Amino acid sequence: MGVSGTLKTLSAPEQEVIERDYRVSKYTYMPSLFGLNNLIFAEQKDIFIVEESDYFTTLKKGIDDRLIGTNPGAKRAVLIFFESKKQLMDFYESFHFVVMKGNAIVMTEENTNEEKESLIKRATSSGQVGLFTKAFGRGTDFVCRDLIVAANGGVHVIQTFLSEELSEEVQIKGRTARQGSYGSYSLILCDRSLEKQFLSTVTCKAV
């Protein structure tokens, strides 16, 4: 028996792998033990597609805006997920991020297990900004025990790339608003990256 929160969003190829390779043919969908999901995400105002020249500026502003809590002077925590280590480091090393650079969390697959455990625990504290590669958008348990963050809208997640599979996007959203807690999510995308992704997809389908 296996448990997953994204069975309903699996693509046809993903479902085929589960049925063929793991011989799973029956699914049971159960409601969450924690009731309704408290994630705040409005497609019309929480998705931004930005020109490449303005992308890092918009991303930094998105972080600044989402750090602000609902109570005066209080700060939330913001987790930002990148498609690759290169994209993460490009933003981290840019002049846009220089003010936050000293206190920010940076985590890629290259970190040791001990480092990952420590960084994950720190990531949801008040005022913390964390940059992560997309691998940590699946299954990583960002537990928020910070009462200030919890009382000010919870952890905010920013995704900087468009997922090819809906299940991946659902997983990344699930890094916040966990177990009945509050949280929010937004997409900040670069138009140039979307163009490249679209052309790559069209080329693959044409082959």
User: Would you mind telling me the total number of residues written for the chain in this entry?
Assistant: 207
Asked whether residue 38 falls in the same domain as residue 25, the answer is: no
E-only strand ranges, the chain? 38-40, 47-50, 78-82, 105-107, 129-133, 155-159, 182-190
Asked whether residue 18 falls in the same domain as residue 98, the answer is: no
Asked whether residue 21 falls in the same domain as residue 118, the answer is: no
Looking at residue 202, its pLDDT comes to 46
Enumerate residue ranges in the chain where pLDDT < 50. 34, 202-207
CATH number assigned to the domain comprising residue 79: 3.40.50.300
Looking at residue 23, its pLDDT comes to 73
Total number of domains in the chain: 2
Asked whether residue 166 falls in the same domain as residue 182, the answer is: yes
pTM for the full predicted model: 0.84
Which range marks the domain in which residue 18 is found?
A: 1-30
Looking at residue 204, its pLDDT comes to 42
Q: With DSSP H G I counted as helix, E B as strand and the rest as coil, what are the percentages for the chain, rounded to 5?
A: 45, 15, 40
For 73-109, how does the pLDDT look when each residue is reduced to its tens digit (9 = 90+)? 999 999 999 999 999 999 999 999 999 999 999 999 9
